[in-house]
A and B are shown apart, each in its own frame.
Chain A
């Protein structure tokens, strides 16, 4: 799968939609960094998650809330 690279004006527009106004001199650096993070994180799109829930409320020891192991 290929992705079109994020351009500086796009980065500025997306940031503005998120409520963050970026000064013009920051557009290129933010676009480059966001593009790098996107390229790293996009690898996760390869995975077939099925019904897997997110781990946001996970317990490192499993599902036992008192973590007795």
Chain B
């Protein structure tokens, strides 16, 4: 196995035991980026020289016996909404031309302190306001969407162009691209990971979290990111937790909620079958499925939209007036339309959130986790604007991809997307697990247990897939 193919956990073990040097690992990942990036478009910038220098420093430190932990010497890609001192945070937008971050974001500083090596900044749907990331191709089929808005991060991890990455999630933007590219995405509980230094889309819905190749990897990254920072008003002082799941978790007695509504309507039969199979696997591991009804389902998307549209417009109010022509068309019109939403409608959405959160708290007193699809369909073709369902319903691609992820943003609950097989076209399917606030540990334990029942995952076959298509096969 080549170093760029290693999971974070495997690479960490190799580095800790000095069978692999950070320099070898970073060189391997940079070499992989050189080969696959022309086919993917996952990165805004690749900082090869700085990464090599950081890898040499990590190598020297470890050689002196100063091993910092599992992220030490491991290459990471950061979504380009996340500030890194001295470098631009482009938000994949011309609006940010000339930008330069004065200081590290909290998460970048914490990764740096843990010894991680930044290899580059990854593409986002412009300012995270979209679900496709059009600059980036899906890792499994370049003619299909990467998903978004953290599309570059998910594609880089799926293709071996980063050992792990960070994304942000306002309506599914970590979980959607993770599901569509066959990698793991964790949206932590609202407030667990500080957002200071991360460009906002919607303050009351935004989260930062890891995109990784395994659930164990997500646990390792979360441990480095979590912790209070008063510079993010939503940040909470949650107790330090060892998130790493046991090697062979026992799910005896774990109650898995299986929704009978919301997550079953307008879902591709292959996706539904994969999730059904996943629940059976969890049951075989000792978990107990419990049928549940999702409360206030009709109000989930209205609440999300009632929050995100005015908050995003408020964030962009100044540049929308000074340089509106620099925004992409799809983002500009959403920001402009957001000006027309009244304050009472916004507060109604905030009050609906209170009711929804209380209803979900009652639901999660009955079950430990909820198992559902991450997205109702696999990656659609680039440029496709709508999904047609068999009952004649037509749904925009954005609405389809947001629909099943929105509950965790509205409620702040943690949610994990884990690969759960592929459809007939070979495109990845995501299982979504939702849990109680600040109970990431249970979520990761269940996700890891499920992951162990699945065949070992390989990297996305970027070069082979592109080669076949180039030859018309």
Contacts and interface: CB of A to CB of B under 8 A. Distances in A.
Contact of A41 (B306, B320, B412, B439): B306
Contacts of B309: 37, 41
Interface residues of A, number: 39
Contacts of B260: none
Contacts of A44: 299, 302-303, 306, 345, 348-349, 352
Contacts of B196: none
A31 B436 CA distance: 40
A20 B64 CA distance: 60
B437 A62 contact: yes
Q: Is the interface of A mostly helix, strand, loop or mixed?
A: loop
A58 B303 CA distance: 15
A56 interface: yes
Interface in B349-397: 349-355, 357, 361
B339 interface: yes
Contacts of B336: 15, 20, 22, 26, 30, 33-34
B63 interface: no
Contact of A43 (B204, B298, B347): B298
A67 B189 CA distance: 11
A61 B354 contact: no
Contacts of A55: 204, 350-351, 353-354, 357
Nearest to A39: B302
A18 B339 contact: yes
B302 A59 contact: no
Contacts of B357: 55, 58, 60
Of the four ranges (under 10, 10 to 19, 20 to 34, 35 or more), the interface on chain B belongs to 35 or more
A26 B438 CA distance: 44
Given A52-B355, A69-B439, A34 B347 contact: no
Contacts of B349: 41, 44
B411 interface: yes
A33 B330 CA distance: 10
Interface string A8-40: 000100110011101000100110011011101
Contacts of A26: 333, 336
Interface in B423-468: 436-439
Given A20-B321, A62-B437, 14 more contacts: A26-B336, A41-B302, A41-B306, A42-B345, A43-B302, A44-B299, A44-B306, A44-B348, A44-B349, A61-B437, A65-B236, A67-B238, A69-B438, A69-B439
Closest 6 CB pairs of A and B: A60-B412, A54-B350, A55-B353, A33-B337, A34-B337, A61-B437
